[in-house]
Amino acid sequence: MADNQFGRDAVSRRKFIAGTGAASVAAIAGCSETSDGNGDGDELSGEVIVKGSSTVFPISDEMAQRFMNDHPKVNVTVDPTGSGGGFENHFCPGNADINGASRPIKQEETNHCAENDVSPIEMHIAGDALTVAVSPENDWVDSMTFDELAQIWGDDSATMWSDVNSDWPDEELELYGPDTTSGTYDWFTENVNGGSHRTEYEGTEDDNTIIQGLENSPYAMGYFGYAYYSENEDRVKALKIAESEGDDPSAPSLQAASEGTYPLARPLFIYPAEGALQREPVYDFVNYYLENSSADWIADEVGYVPANQDMVDENMNKLESAAGE
């Protein structure tokens, strides 16, 4: 993994991208895999605080570990507080430098930040194939439509499997999902349920708790980010999803999410605070994050769709603008 060579005292990242052209994706990926051992990484010191989405957490945590390997005097802490919980309780009050989010920031959150002179900068850094899963013992359903999901997860919702389909068991639904502070909860509520979400379910910010719940009962169902499914494919069964009746259902996969053929594909974001970017450790960490956001290991090791070059370019331009370059 290369040391971060594109901070404020180094050559402009925009010029670097322009110079590398179409080869920059490969160059960035290569930078994430090798280290020349040069640069002044050991001189950088300080703290970077990252809060927010449990879905974005695996990417940010891996970025933090790799960055700290190159810069051992910088402490990057990453806590999965939920997208909304991170904005409300940490980022907007000015107590975090970066917030991860599995949905765009809300207007009321932007207003809250403004009240505290915090200016969030939206950066689309990856893609997810949000996964709906059941117990491996579930042998009556392999796919669902948005309408069937809304019957289960919506506000006026089913209590028994047979309430949704008479061919399904006359057994109570046991539901596990993200807490109300989660961006995954918000995204699912808006895009699948039509704006409402049932309250009778086991909500958590720990996606591993959802996995355990599905393992323990054949009548359980839950939803979470694809990275957690890819780590636990032998423990749960993912459902194929069709947006409408008659559509061909699609299984969650990074390829389907990248191609736009999976109905629950969604963008993932980080929001650094403009003021925090004036501090060198924060700037350099975000710069490193963006440089590596197109690296193959994001798909291979974390389980998300890496950024494409247009996303990298746009984010780098935002970073330079925020830092006054």
3 located within any domain:
no
Q: Do 95 and 144 share a domain, yes or no?
A: no
6 located within any domain:
no
Interatomic CA distance for residues 322 and 325, integer angstroms:
8
Q: Do 147 and 256 share a domain, yes or no?
A: yes
Contact between 306 and 66 (Cβ < 8 Å): no
**pLDDT surpasses 80 at 128:** yes
**pLDDT surpasses 80 at 51:** yes
Largest CA distance in the chain: 66
Give 272's strand partners.
98
Cα angle vertex 159, ends 155, 160, to 5°?
145
19 located within any domain:
yes
Size of the chain in residues: 325
Cα dihedral: 186, 148, 172, 216 (round 10): -60
**Which residue has 């948005």 as its token pair?**
146
The per-residue pLDDT for range 246-302, each reduced to its tens digit, is 999 999 999 999 999 999 999 999 999 999 999 999 999 999 999 999 999 999 999
Range of the domain at 181: 131-263
The per-residue pLDDT for range 152-181, each reduced to its tens digit, is 999 878 999 999 999 999 999 999 999 999
Interatomic CA distance for residues 66 and 150, integer angstroms:
40
The per-residue pLDDT for range 85-107, each reduced to its tens digit, is 999 999 999 999 999 999 999 99
pLDDT band at 43 (very low <50, low <70, confident <90, very high): confident
Contact between 77 and 30 (Cβ < 8 Å): no
Instruction: Write the CATH number for 254.
Output: 3.40.190.10
168 located within any domain:
yes
Domain count, the chain: 2
pLDDT band at 324 (very low <50, low <70, confident <90, very high): confident
